[in-house]
């Protein structure tokens, strides 16, 4: 089982860990704790490096498997052994861009729900770019500029972002979480992690976010597409 350090400290760029198991065929190691985000919820995994006994391995893919985080090691150096001490370093430039982008998407989601009552059905992101799909029947091209102005206003309001980990029963009492389809969470989950943009948005979320909307930067609505009468996709870019 890997302790997920990014869940409580998204700003951790380096960490020490122990290698708990090694998957020879996949060139992957499981660590007892990790700051690497393994991907999920539309946020891609982190990249970086792992130093074990003086050997520097590129981490070029990270994946969650059950309660373990698998770190896939590039290159051809012999793999470390279980029990070895490791030092991990994130590609922080990439991760921080993903944090800003992920928070920007929550700003978009919260603003559109508040102003138009439209709910999100899905989304995806890469560093500084992303999109969300909404059930947003009244969306039309003329609204793009209004939405862009509204989301950037939220960024400039310097809203704090809070991470909380709640018992499942408690989370299920919160109306804002119910609207974001918290009921779709697997039954085995005993705790729910929430991301709150104070005064704007609250969601069950496993990703990494900035501390305050003022770190996001300017958000541009790059495109919008109608995917049918009800479903609309909005693309953003963070500058
Ligand atoms: Zn999210």
pLDDT of 181 over the 70 cut: no
Which of 3-17, 159-173, 188-202 is modeled with the greatest confidence? 3-17
- Asked whether 216 and 104 are in contact (CB, 8 A), the reply is yes
Give residue 161 CA to ligand 1 midpoint distance, Å.
12
Q: What is the pLDDT of residue 238?
A: 98
pLDDT of 209 over the 90 cut: yes
Q: What is the pLDDT of residue 145?
A: 96
pLDDT of 188 over the 90 cut: no
- Asked whether 43 and 102 are in contact (CB, 8 A), the reply is yes
pLDDT of 184 over the 70 cut: no
End-to-end C-alpha distance for the chain, whole angstroms: 37
Q: What is the pLDDT of residues 116-164, one digit of tens each?
A: 999 998 999 999 999 999 999 999 999 999 999 999 999 999 999 999 9
Phi, psi of 52 (to 5 degrees): -130, 120
Which residues are found with C-beta within 5 Å of the ion, ligand 1?
Answer: 205, 207
Q: What is the pLDDT of residue 169?
A: 87
Q: Where are the alpha helices (DSSP H) in 6-143?
A: 92-116
Query: For 206-210, what is the mean pLDDT?
Result: 97
Give residue 209 CA to ligand 1 midpoint distance, Å.
8
- Asked whether 206 and 121 are in contact (CB, 8 A), the reply is no
Give residue 82 CA to ligand 1 midpoint distance, Å.
34
Give residue 214 CA to ligand 1 midpoint distance, Å.
17
Give residue 128 CA to ligand 1 midpoint distance, Å.
14
Give residue 236 CA to ligand 1 midpoint distance, Å.
14
3-class secondary structure, 115: helix
Q: What is the pLDDT of residue 101?
A: 98
Give residue 127 CA to ligand 1 midpoint distance, Å.
14
Virtual torsion, Cα 165, 167, 172, 175, nearest 10 deg: -40
pLDDT of 43 over the 80 cut: yes
Give residue 79 CA to ligand 1 midpoint distance, Å.
34
Q: Which residues contact 64 (CB under 8 A, 6 or more apart)?
A: 38, 39, 40, 70
Q: What is the pLDDT of residue 173?
A: 86
Give residue 208 CA to ligand 1 midpoint distance, Å.
8
pLDDT of 9 over the 90 cut: yes
Give residue 102 CA to ligand 1 midpoint distance, Å.
6
Q: What is the pLDDT of residues 222-235, one digit of tens each?
A: 999 999 999 999 99
């Amino acid at each position: 089982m890997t302790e997920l350090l990014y869940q409580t400290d998204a700003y951790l760029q380096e960490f020490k860990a122990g290698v708990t198991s090694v998957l020879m065929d996949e060139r992957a190691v499981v660590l007892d704790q990790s700051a690497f985000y393994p991907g999920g919820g539309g946020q891609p995994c982190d990249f970086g490096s792992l130093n074990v006994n003086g050997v520097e391995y590129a981490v070029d893919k990270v994946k969650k498997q059950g309660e373990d985080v698998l770190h896939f090691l590039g290159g051809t150096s012999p793999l470390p052994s279980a029990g070895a001490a490791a030092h991990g370093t994130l590609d922080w430039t990439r991760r921080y861009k993903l944090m800003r982008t992920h928070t920007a998407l929550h700003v978009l989601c919260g603003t559109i729900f508040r102003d138009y009552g439209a709910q999100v059905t899905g989304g995806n992101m890469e560093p500084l770019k992303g999109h969300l799909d909404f059930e947003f029947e009244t969306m039309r091209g003329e609204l793009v500029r209004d939405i862009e102005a509204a989301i950037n206003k939220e960024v400039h309001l310097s809203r704090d972002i809070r991470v909380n980990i709640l018992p499942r029963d408690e989370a299920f009492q919160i109306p804002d979480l119910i609207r974001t389809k918290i009921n779709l969470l697997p039954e085995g989950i005993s705790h729910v992690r929430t991301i709150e943009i104070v005064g704007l948005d609250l969601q069950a979320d496993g990703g990494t976010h900035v501390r305050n909307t003022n770190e996001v930067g300017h958000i541009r609505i790059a495109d919008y597409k109608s995917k049918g009468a009800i479903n609309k996709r909005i693309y953003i870019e963070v500058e």
